[in-house]
Amino acid sequence: MGFLAKYLAFFKMSILHHLRNYKLLIGLCIFQLTCLLIFAHIWKVAAARMGTIDLDPKLLLWYIALNEWILIAVPDIEIDMEYELKTGQLAYFLPRPISYLGSKLVEGVGALLLNMLVLGATAFLFVYFWTGALPLPPTSFIITVLMGILAGFLSLVFTMVVGISAFFVHEVEPWRWVWEKFLFVFGGLMLPLTIYPQWMQTIAHWTPFPAILGGRSGLIFNFELEAMLWILFSIMVWTSIGLIFLYTLYKRGLKMLNVEGG
C-alpha cells in the first residue's frame, strides 16, 4: 500500500502543479480551437479534391477534435526529461526511495488526465454547439472517449521513450520530430489515410499511429465492435511494447551513467 501511496502523492502533486499553472491550460485551449478550425478547413479541401465530398462535415469536425484532443493533451514530458538528464539533475532523483521512471510516468499521467479533462471539455462542447449533436449514441461516444484516454497514455509512453533517449543522444528534438511526423502521416492527421496507396495503408495498420489518432477517431464514422476491439487490442499491445522498450532504455542508460559517469 505504501508503495502505491508514494506514486499517488506524485500523481496528486502533478495535478496540483498543473492546476496552479491554469494560464497554460487556457492557452492550450485557445490553441486547440485554432488548430481545430485550420485542420477542419484543410480536410474539407482535401476531401473535396479527393472526390469524397460526401463525408459529413459535422462528423469530420468531430474526427479532428478527437485527434487534436490527444495530440495537444499529451504533456511535453520529454523536454523535462532531457533537461534533467543533461544537467545531471537525475543524480538527485536516484537516491530517492522511488523510481525516477515511475515517478515521471505518474507525473505524466497526472498532467495528461488534467489536460484531457480540460481540453476535452472545451473541444467537445465547442464542436457539440457547432454541429448540434453528438457523433454517436451516448454509450458509443463514451467508449470512444475512454479509448481516447488509453490512446493518450500510449502516446505518453512513447513521448517518454523520446525523452529517455537523452541518455544516448545530445538533443531529443530530432526524435520527437520523427515520432510526430509518423504520427501525423500514419495517424491520418495530416491528410486522410485513404489518399495514400494501399501498401502504405497496410503499413500504417500495423503501427501504433492509427490507434492513437485516425483509426480510433475514425470510429465515429462507423462504430463497429470488430473495429473497436482491434483498436483496443492495438493500444494494449503497443503500450506493452512501449513500456518494455522504455524500461530497457532506462536500465541501459543508468548502466552507462554508472560506468561512465554523467
Partner 1 sequence: MGVYKSLQFYLALLKTSIKASVSLRWNFIFEMFLMLFNNLIFFSMWWIFFLQFNDIAGWTFRDMAALMSIGTGAYGLRQICFGGVKSLARYIVSGGLDSFMTQPKNILIHIIGSKSLPNGWGQLLTSLLIVVLTGLTDLYTTSMIILGVICGCVVFASMAIISHSMAFWLGPVETLAQKYCDSLFLFALYPSNIYSDILRFMMFTVLPAGLISYLPVELVRKFSWLYLFGIVSGALFLGTISFAIFYLGLKRYESGNQVGIRA
Which of positions 152-171 make contact with partner 1 (CB under 8 A)? 169-171
Residues contacting partner 1: total by CB under 8 A = 39
Nearer to partner 1, 76 or 149 (CB): 76
Q: Does 180 bind partner 1 (CB under 8 A)?
A: yes
Q: Which of 222, 148, 210 is nearest to 184 (CA)?
A: 210
Q: For the window 86-125, what string marks contact with partner 1 as x by the rule CB under 8 A? A: ----------------------------------------
* Calpha distance 46→29 (Å, rounded): 25
CA dihedral 223, 42, 126, 15 (to 10 degrees): 80
Q: Does 49 bind partner 1 (CB under 8 A)?
A: yes
Backbone torsions φ then ψ of 133, nearest 5 degrees: -160, 160
Q: Which one among 57, 88, 137, 174 touches partner 1, defined by CB under 8 A?
A: 174
Q: Helix %, strand %, coil % for the chain, to 5?
A: 80, 0, 20
Grid coordinates given for 118: 480540460
Q: Which one among 31, 92, 206, 233 touches partner 1, defined by CB under 8 A?
A: 31
Q: Does 13 bind partner 1 (CB under 8 A)?
A: no
* Calpha distance 181→29 (Å, rounded): 23
* Calpha distance 160→145 (Å, rounded): 23
Q: For the window 183-202, what string marks contact with partner 1 as x by the rule CB under 8 A? A: -xx----xx---xxx--x--
CA Rg value for the chain? 19
Q: How far is the CB of 80 from partner 1 (least distance, A)?
A: 9
* Calpha distance 29→215 (Å, rounded): 24
Q: For the window 200-219, what string marks contact with partner 1 as x by the rule CB under 8 A? A: x-------------------
CA dihedral 73, 78, 83, 85 (to 10 degrees): 140
Q: Does 19 bind partner 1 (CB under 8 A)?
A: no
Which residues here bind partner 1, judged by CB under 8 A?
21, 23-24, 27-28, 31, 34-35, 37-38, 41-42, 45, 49-50, 72, 75-76, 79, 83, 169-171, 173-175, 177-178, 180-182, 184-185, 190-191, 195-197, 200
